[in-house]
Structure formats: C-alpha cells, structure tokens
Chains A and B, each alone.
Chain A
Amino acid sequence: MAEKMTGAQIMCEALVREGVEVMFGMPGGAIMPFYYAMYDYRDKLRHILCRHEQGAGHAAEGYARVTGTVGVCVATSGPGATNLVTPIADAWMDSTPIVAITGQVSSAVIGKDAFQETDITGITMPVTKHSYLVKNIEELPTVFKEAFYIASTGRPGPVLIDITKDAQQARTVPNWDVKITLPGYKPTLQGNRKQIMTAVKLLAEAKKPLIMAGNGIIMADATEELRSFAERTGIPVITTLHGIGAFPEDHPLSIGMPGMHGWVHVNRAIQECDVLFNIGARFDDRVTGKVSTFAPNARIIHVDIDPSEIGKNVKTEVPIVGDARMVLMAMLEEMPQRDTTEWMHKIREMQSHHQHRQQYLVREAGTEDILMPHDVYAALTRIMNERGKYRVATDVGQHQMWAAQLIDWYRPRTHITSGGAGTMGFALPAALGAAVACPDETIWVIVGDGGFQMTNQELATIVQEGITNIKVAIVNNGYLGMVRQWQELFEDRRYSHTLLTGPDFAQLARAYGVCGITVEQRGEVEAAIEAAYAHNGPVVIDFRVEREVNVFPMVPQGKSIGDMLTEQPEPTATA
C-alpha cells in the first residue's frame, strides 16, 4: 500500500481525487514528467492537446463556465506559462474557477535565468486569486487540495500551481490525509440578518424598484430563487452582460441588458428607479457609465460574495456580503407581495417608444437584400430555439454586443463571453471547453473576423479530438469593427489600422478538415445555418455582412447612461 510515487504521479492522482475528468494543455521540457505520468492515467484523465496555451486556458474557462466546476489547463515553463497569462487574467476578471498547472525549471537552477525559466507566479500575481510555487514533493497533496478549494469557493477565480521539474521527478509516499487549513480564507455565505431586513424594508416600500442580476446569480445557482423573488415582488429584472441567462428573457418581468450597449429603456429605468437591488454584479464602468450620474435617485442595495466589490465603484446604502442564493432565500422569507404595475407599465412604455430590438429590423427601401449582421442573429436565434439545447460562446467586438442584444437568452451558463477583460480570441477555444463538457448540445461560436484570426488554430484541436458539436458563425465585416465604430463616431472617421483582410475563412476551415460555408446573400443565411446543423461535424460559416454597421444604442465612454446615442448621428459638415 505505502508505495512510493513520483511527484508527477501524485499530481495525476490529486487531479483524479478532485474529480477532474479533462484538462487542456501542451507539453514541454519542464512539465514532461507530468506528461510521462499522465500516460498511465489516460483512462481517468482526458487531456486535450491544444495548439496554443492561450487556447488551453480559454478552453478551461469555457469548461468551467458551463459546468460550474474547476477547469484545468497545463503548460510548460517559460513561454508555455506566459502564453497562459491572458486566459488567467481573463478568468480573474470574470471570476472563472480555473487551476493552471505549469512546469518550472528545477529548484537548483531557479533564479539563474535557466533555459525557459520565467517567474510565472510573479508575473501572474496581480491576476490570480492565489498561486503556489512547489519545490518540495511533500507539499503536492495539500497544494492541490487547497488550489481547487480556493478556485471554486467564495468568489471563484484562477489559481496557479507552478511545480519544479525536480519536485515532479522526486519520489515519496504521499500523505493524502490532509485537511485544508486556511485561517485567512473564510468566505461569508450567509448575509447579515440586520442588513437583509433593511433591504427587505427598502424594497417593500420602494415605488420604482429594480433588480440588477449579475454573474453572481449564475455562479451561486440562484436562478430559481431569483425567479421566485421577482415573481413574489413583481420587481422588474435587468441582466448584465454576465447576468445573461440568470433570468429568462421571455419572462414578463425581464426588461433586458443595461450599460454601454444596453437598451435605452433599461438605462432609463436605472436612472429613474428609487431602489436598485444589485445581486452579484460589480458595477463595472461599462454598466455605470459616468459614475457620478449613475442611478441618481436610487438607494442602492448590493449583494456580493466579495466584500471588496461593495462600495468600490458606487456608493451603497445597504451592503450585504454573502452568497446570492442564500441571501435571496433569506430575503424571500421576509418579502411581502407588492404591486409594481404602474412602474412596469412605465418601463414598457419607454421600451416601445425606443423600439427596443425592432429598430434593427427596419430596412430602408433598396437595402432589403443586403446581408446585415442582424439577419444572421435573427435566423440563428430562431433556428437555435427550434432545435433547442444550445450554448453560445461569443468573442469581443460588435458581434458580441449584437449577440447579447439580439439572441433570446433563457438559461444560465448558455452565454459564454469574455466580459471583464474583453479578450479577443476567447470564443473558439472557450467553445472547445464547453463542447467537451456538453457533448449533447450544440455550441455556437459567434466571432468577428478579427478575433477569429487570433485563435483559429484550435480548429485543428477540435478536429483531432473528434469534436462535432461546434458550429462557428463568423460575422465578417472586414474590419476590427468595434474599434472602427469608435473611430467613425468619435474620431472623425480616421480608420487608423482597423481595415482588416483575412483569408477565405471557408477555405481555411476546409484546410483544417472542417466544413466551410460562405454566405454573401441575405437569402442564404437560414439554409447555411440548417446545413451547419445537418453536418455531423464542426462547421465554419463565413457571413460576409454589410461592413460599416454600428451597434446601437450606445453610451459614449465616460458619458452618463442617461444620454444614449440611439442612431447614427448626422455626419458633421467638416467630415
């Protein structure tokens, strides 16, 4: 029984004990002992070889985002590890639980600029929830246990384990009888009773209350509780970019997304509400616009599991530190029923006045045949709903905002995007992780022609792994569209380095062994999407859309969310 194991075997065993089934990575010198050991664990631990460590990191994020469990990525020291920095930073900004495992040069040469030595714990310190540099094999069982615990509890986030090559090669009889002793880490789950009662009272007496639901609802699995709470109180619900899916958009109390590219009536509702009940969103500047003018009439209740988020950006009257689900459950018990018909009516009136999604469907005469980006979303949302069981990974840019605006979102963990960091290149590898986690569902990737060119090499990974449930929709406008939009609106149309040529994406897909389809006509959109479903394998559809279309409505950066641009401003005389 008491057999010696190598550090690398202990790492594998620790992963199995943590319930890990799959990891994403790439081998190299300093992590080779781990890969050596992994070979014997291939029945228990699936390893997916990515084409770039950034892809491995985002895949781990995608996996974590759809499962709610910890995603795992692996890289070697030096450049392997630094390639993980972007996904680690992305996971940090979006509170995604991942554990990144990196090999490190042997302890004897650490600090001597050895081949492929990089101080990765140092480099990632500002963007990790915690990190470990393990030089001693005896620490491995404790470190793995702690790392998974820290990554997945409280406010989730990335944890890095950097392990020297000699620690992987050493041998010992592992002691698995470890308990977690982290006296400085005790997340508060139950909200403070007094604050909860204050919040209940505020909401009960409010004339124009509003619920803002964020990622915290999804991470705490609190969607049912949110629904009960909204239905009991009749309070309308807005869902932030990461709150999408926390509340079904076809619910009569759902009013939509706030913020820079949120809807006018939602931002107006924020400006008008008298109590704003934020659960699990962090008042990001893309949501608040100019903070000093944000929600000027509102008394603010903020529920967050991370105390440091409360009061950080917006002055808060009732802070409640706790788990979204537990706090909602506690509040639900105390909350009286109430009537919000008048307020709801007012919001719906604003909504109809500002046309909401309809404006995108208005076509000027003579433009009916042009392939607009919105045609893609309209067809996609219709067909996805018909087929059911879908999730969507979006990248960063105009196509991302259109996806948030124009697709109907109903279920948690179905909208996977890079919000806090806004990482181009996120979508395809994140979809890879999601596809592995949900083999029975169709994972759509909505990506720009710019972002696709950052990580499209993961198509090779998808093919090699025999993954069939990924369908890619490139909203190809031949521009770094979102940047071009800012240049058009705020920089006198100086299109400085935003014009982008790409390869023929359908041909590129074919070169990878993936089905490629090009769509140039409005009338071909639906057939292409149906064809993608019909094909039993990954598909890339290159939608060559109208090139200079802008995302509206929009709050210009640094402006109040009360002042939205709702349509193309008249060109200035000088332009």
Chain B
Amino acid sequence: MRKHTLVALMQDRPGVLTRAVSMFRRRGFNIESLAVGHTETPGVSRMTLVVESETVEQVVKQLYRLIEVLKVSDVTFDPTVEREMALVKVHATSTTRSEIVSLAQIFDAKIVDVGTSSLIVEMTGAPGKVENFLEVIRPFGIKEMMRTGRIAMVRGSRTHQASDYIDVEENGHIAAALN
C-alpha cells in the first residue's frame, strides 16, 4: 500500500499544532511521520506528514476544518525532494572506527563527534537512503539514535508559498503581537 506525503501550511497561532495532533489521534489516523517548522513567511508554519493512503482524503479534509490551516497538498505523485535526518551514536572501537568512517563517506554522512568508544554520525538524505545507512551501520552497535520526521518540497518552479493564501505583512503583525 502506498504511503502519502502531505504538505500543509498553517497560520502559526497558539495551539494550532496541538489541534492538529489531537485531531489525528482522536480520528485514529495513522501518522507515520510528522515534521513542523517555520517557513519563508513569518507567522506561517509548514507541516509535512506521511499517512496511510486509505485515510488520506479524510486527513486532508479534517485538516482543512482547522481554522488556521491555509493549504494542504498531497505531493505523493509530484517530483519532490524529500529529506530526513538522523543522529546516530555508533559503538566504535579502534578497529571498527575507520570502517564506520568510510561507510559514512559513501553515504555522504558526517562524523560530528568522536569519543573513545563511539562516534556520532549525522545522516541526512532521502528517506530510503537514511534507512539503508542505518541498515549497514546497525551491526556495529547503535547506542543511541534520533530521527526527524520527513520534510518535502516539490521540485521546479511550482511552489507552496504562504503568500498565495494570506496577506503576508498583516499576518506578520498579528503573529508578532501574539508573541
């Protein structure tokens, strides 16, 4: 079954994230991945979520019921750049260290911390690639790991810009007043 990737733009008002997340929970939507952050426009947040396909239509419609939600797009079938990030603390001895480093190089991952018995690797990439990297690194012994949710952006000139849906300046004033 195909997973769907949704991109939602929402006004950054108190409680909006809680509202969205509480709605997912009570409607029993299975959200596989969720990432939220600021956008090019002050006072507008952007959410990327990955959901099961049978519920995708209801997820979109229920999101639209939230007053702050400006736009929800299903980008599953668009050409996109999708990224996830993982920080992994790997068990590393003097004998395995160089092997881990060279594996990281192959995956374009960065070594961001070196300890006596461990390394922290920062892996950023398409979701499948992050998965593959974790696969090859796992046998060395993962001590700690933190993965982010997926973020996505459609390639080319098509945009999901907040300014298409709101008066940017006004929204900025309101957002500033609320903070």
Contacts and interface: CB of A to CB of B under 8 A. Distances in A.
B73 to A, nearest CB: 14
B67 A130 contact: yes
B66 A125 contact: no
Contact of B23 (A126, A138, A185, A306): A126
Given A181-B167, A308-B61, A126 B15 contact: no
Contacts, number: 50
Interface string B5-34: 000001100110011001100100000000
A122 interface: yes
Nearest to B14: A133
A312 interface: yes
B153 interface: no
Nearest to A321: B61
A183 interface: yes
Contacts of B166: 183
B69 A184 contact: yes
Contact of B67 (A138, A150, A306, A307): A150
Given A121-B15, A122-B18, A126-B23, A183 B62 contact: no
A125 B22 contact: yes
Nearest to B22: A125
Contacts of B69: 184
B167 A307 contact: no
Interface string B54-87: 0001100110111111100000000000000000
A150 B66 CA distance: 11
A125 B15 contact: yes
A307 B70 contact: no
Contacts of B177: 136, 138-139
A361 interface: no
B144 interface: no
A28 interface: no
A130 B170 CA distance: 21
Nearest to B26: A126
Given A308-B58, A308-B64, A181 B170 contact: yes
B58 A183 contact: no
A247 B7 CA distance: 43
Interface in A302-317: 306-308, 311-312
A291 to B, nearest CB: 15
A126 B58 contact: no
B140 interface: no
Interface string B40-61: 0000000000000000011001
B167 A184 contact: no
Contacts of B67: 129-130, 150, 182, 184-185
Given A308-B62, A308-B65, A312-B58, A125 B167 contact: no
A307 B58 CA distance: 9
Contacts of B171: 181, 183
Given A150-B67, A181-B167, A126 B61 contact: no
A17 B99 CA distance: 73
A311 B60 CA distance: 13
Contact of B66 (A183, A184, A311): A184
Nearest to B61: A308
Contacts of B18: 122, 125
A150 B65 CA distance: 11
B13 to A, nearest CB: 9
Interface string A137-159: 01100000000001000000000
A185 B16 CA distance: 14
Nearest to A185: B67
A124 to B, nearest CB: 11
A182 B165 CA distance: 10
Given A125-B19, A126-B23, A126-B26, A183 B64 contact: no
B63 to A, nearest CB: 9
Contacts of A308: 58, 61-62, 64-65
A416 B11 CA distance: 37
A380 to B, nearest CB: 40
A183 B57 contact: no
Contacts of A181: 167, 170-171, 174
B10 A184 contact: yes
Contact of A183 (B11, B26, B61): B11
B12 to A, nearest CB: 12
A306 B62 CA distance: 10
B22 A126 contact: yes
5 contacts: A126-B23, A182-B67, A184-B10, A308-B62, A308-B64
Interface of B: 10-11, 14-15, 18-19, 22-23, 26, 57-58, 61-62, 64-70, 165-167, 170-171, 174, 177
